[in-house]
């Protein structure tokens, strides 16, 4: 597999004490130095997105607004999104590296890639920055894959926050399935029950709002009974994962209770989807995750699976067995109820869900 890292991603700073900070990548770097699977990945070549590539997901006037921050020490976009003199360059390289990873995956021989970039992307809208995000890396990567001739791209988003920008990018289109499991109500306030897409895109937005406090069994119940069955039925040519690690139980910005091992199980499910439907083509893009050690552990859990290394049993980590459960008794009754309602909601669009109701 391919791993994309660049020192530019650490030069983007927001305000003092901001949770989306360079230390996030430094923690991942430290983890990678000791990773037993270091010989199992190649280093991908990062590059900048062109203006035309950014314009597939953003308005020209907005791209110019972000570009105008280049070299300017401090530009505030909203209450929690601020650019420094390097932010535009970092954001453009994050988007470009996602595109480079799509190209590498399509051209082979590597079929899996993880872009470890900052700033993240899934809150960025077509014409404004939001939630620490400037350019929507997942949307730009999906558009690039379609421009290269793929017919269907699936974006799975298990960051704890709903990816409003990603959803809005494809809300009325059937060529990109956008599926999100997220805490609700919570920032950014989108991703309600019933957000199913519009027009030709009706049924192609899967929005799974879950109550605060969900643990591994709750997530896996919704993922196994709704999200992955729909994604398999969608039959994508490429799977893009908005990989945010802020649903971890130690994350300071949200109230979910995932163990580190949950990310290993998610990766197994992502690989199964990509391998069985998309010729193995699987792209992970880093989104959130604000407890730096939980973030590094989560990325490590993902990479153990993506590189085909050994899974469970490393001392000090949760075991996969703890996370990987089909035991409905462990699923909170309110989550069982949400899952039932979601399956009923999406069954008209995805007949395969009949088996799960």
Task: Enter the tokens of residue 302.
Answer: 């993902």
**Beta carbon of residue 247, minimum distance to Zn ion (angstroms, whole number):** 8
Q: Nearer Cβ to Zn ion, position 53 or 159?
A: 159
Q: What is the largest CA-CA distance in the chain?
A: 56
- Give the range of 105-113, 208-216, 237-245, 292-300 binding Zn ion by CB under 5 A: 237-245
Task: Enter the tokens of residue 334.
Answer: 């309110």
Under DSSP, is residue 301 helix (H, G, I), strand (E, B) or coil?
A: helix
Near Zn ion by CB under 5 A: residue from 288, 296, 324, 350: 288
Size of the site for Zn ion (CB under 5 A): 5
- Give the range of 10-18, 27-35, 281-289, 343-351 binding Zn ion by CB under 5 A: 281-289
Is there binding between residue 236 and Zn ion (CB under 5 A)? no
**Beta carbon of residue 265, minimum distance to Zn ion (angstroms, whole number):** 19
**Beta carbon of residue 287, minimum distance to Zn ion (angstroms, whole number):** 6
Q: Which residues of 258-295 are buried (b: 16+ CB within 10 A; e: fewer)?
A: bbbbbbbbbbbbbbebbeebbeebbbbbbbbbbbbebb
What's the distance, CA 258 to chain centroid?
16
- Give the range of 7-15, 22-30, 241-249, 304-312 binding Zn ion by CB under 5 A: 241-249
Q: Nearer Cβ to Zn ion, position 163 or 229?
A: 163
Q: Nearer Cβ to Zn ion, position 285 or 345?
A: 285
**Beta carbon of residue 333, minimum distance to Zn ion (angstroms, whole number):** 26
- The residue of the chain with the least Cβ separation from Zn ion equals 288
Q: Nearer Cβ to Zn ion, position 157 or 237?
A: 157
Q: Which phi and psi angles does 132 have, rounded to 5°?
A: 75, 5
Q: Nearer Cβ to Zn ion, position 120 or 236?
A: 120
To the query of whether residue 123 is one of the catalytic residues in this protein, the response is: yes
Task: Enter the tokens of residue 223.
Answer: 């993922």
Beta carbons of 179 and 157 less than 8 angstroms apart: yes
**Beta carbon of residue 82, minimum distance to Zn ion (angstroms, whole number):** 17
- Sheet holding 2-4: strands in order across? 42-43, 2-4, 112-115, 282-286, 238-243, 153-157, 176-183, 205-210
Q: Nearer Cβ to Zn ion, position 228 or 290?
A: 290
Bridge partners of 153, per DSSP, are 176, 238
Q: Using CB under 5 A as the criterion, what x/- string covers residues 147-176 for binding Zn ion?
A: ------------x-x---------------
Catalytic residue among 12, 58, 86, 123: 123
**Beta carbon of residue 296, minimum distance to Zn ion (angstroms, whole number):** 16
- Give the range of 107-115, 170-178, 288-296, 349-357 binding Zn ion by CB under 5 A: 288-296
**Beta carbon of residue 26, minimum distance to Zn ion (angstroms, whole number):** 19
What's the distance, CA 190 to chain centroid?
16
Within residues 325-354, the interface with Zn ion by CB under 5 A covers none
Q: Which long-range contacts (CB under 8 A, 24 or more apart) does 339-344 make?
A: 339/221, 339/222, 339/225, 339/226, 341/193, 342/193, 342/208, 342/222, 342/226, 343/225, 343/226
- Give the range of 100-108, 202-210, 234-242, 243-251 binding Zn ion by CB under 5 A: 243-251
Within residues 93-152, the interface with Zn ion by CB under 5 A covers none
Q: Nearer Cβ to Zn ion, position 191 or 197?
A: 191
Beta carbons of 121 and 95 less than 8 angstroms apart: yes
d(CA 146, CA 269) in angstroms, rounded, equals: 23
d(CA 90, CA 95) in angstroms, rounded, equals: 9
Near Zn ion by CB under 5 A: residue from 246, 270, 297, 300: 246
d(CA 228, CA 231) in angstroms, rounded, equals: 5
Bridge partners of 178, per DSSP, are 155, 205
Contact positions vs Zn ion (CB under 5 A): 159, 161, 244, 246, 288
Catalytic residues: 123
């Amino acid at each position: 597999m391919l791993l994309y890292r660049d020192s530019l991603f650490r030069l983007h700073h927001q305000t003092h004490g901001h949770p989306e900070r360079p230390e996030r990548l430094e923690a991942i770097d430290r983890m990678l130095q000791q990773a037993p699977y270091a010989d199992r990945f190649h280093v991908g070549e990062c590059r900048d997105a062109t203006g035309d590539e950014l314009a597939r997901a953003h308005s020209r006037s907005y791209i110019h607004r972000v570009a105008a921050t280049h070299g300017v020490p401090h530009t505030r976009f909203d209450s929690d999104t601020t650019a420094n003199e390097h932010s535009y360059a970092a954001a453009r390289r994050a988007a470009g590296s996602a595109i480079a990873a799509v190209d590498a995956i399509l051209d082979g021989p590597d079929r899996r890639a993880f872009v470890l970039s900052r700033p993240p992307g899934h809150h960025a809208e077509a014409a404004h920055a939001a939630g620490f995000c400037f350019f929507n890396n997942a949307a730009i990567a999906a558009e690039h894959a379609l421009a290269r001739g793929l017919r269907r791209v699936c974006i799975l988003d298990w960051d704890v926050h709903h990816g409003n920008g990603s959803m809005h990018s494809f809300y009325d289109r059937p060529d990109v399935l956008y599926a999100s499991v997220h805490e609700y109500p919570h920032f950014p306030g989108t991703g309600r029950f019933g957000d199913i897409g519009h027009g030709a895109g009706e049924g192609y937005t899967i929005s799974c709002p879950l109550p605060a406090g969900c643990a591994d069994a709750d997530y896996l119940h919704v993922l196994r009974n709704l999200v992955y069955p729909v994604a398999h039925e969608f039959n994508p040519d490429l799977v893009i994962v908005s990989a945010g690690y802020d649903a971890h139980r130690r994350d300071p910005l949200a109230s979910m209770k995932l163990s580190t091992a949950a990310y290993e199980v998610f990766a197994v499910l992502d690989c199964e989807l990509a391998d069985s439907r998309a010729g193995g083509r699987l792209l992970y893009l880093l989104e959130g995750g604000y407890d730096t050690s939980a973030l590094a552990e989560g990325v490590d859990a993902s990479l153990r699976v993506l590189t085909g290394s050994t899974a469970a049993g490393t001392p000090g980590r949760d075991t996969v067995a703890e996370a990987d459960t089909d035991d409905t008794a462990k699923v909170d009754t309110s989550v069982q109820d949400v899952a039932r309602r979601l399956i009923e909601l999406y069954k008209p669009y995805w007949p395969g869900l009949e088996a799960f109701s």
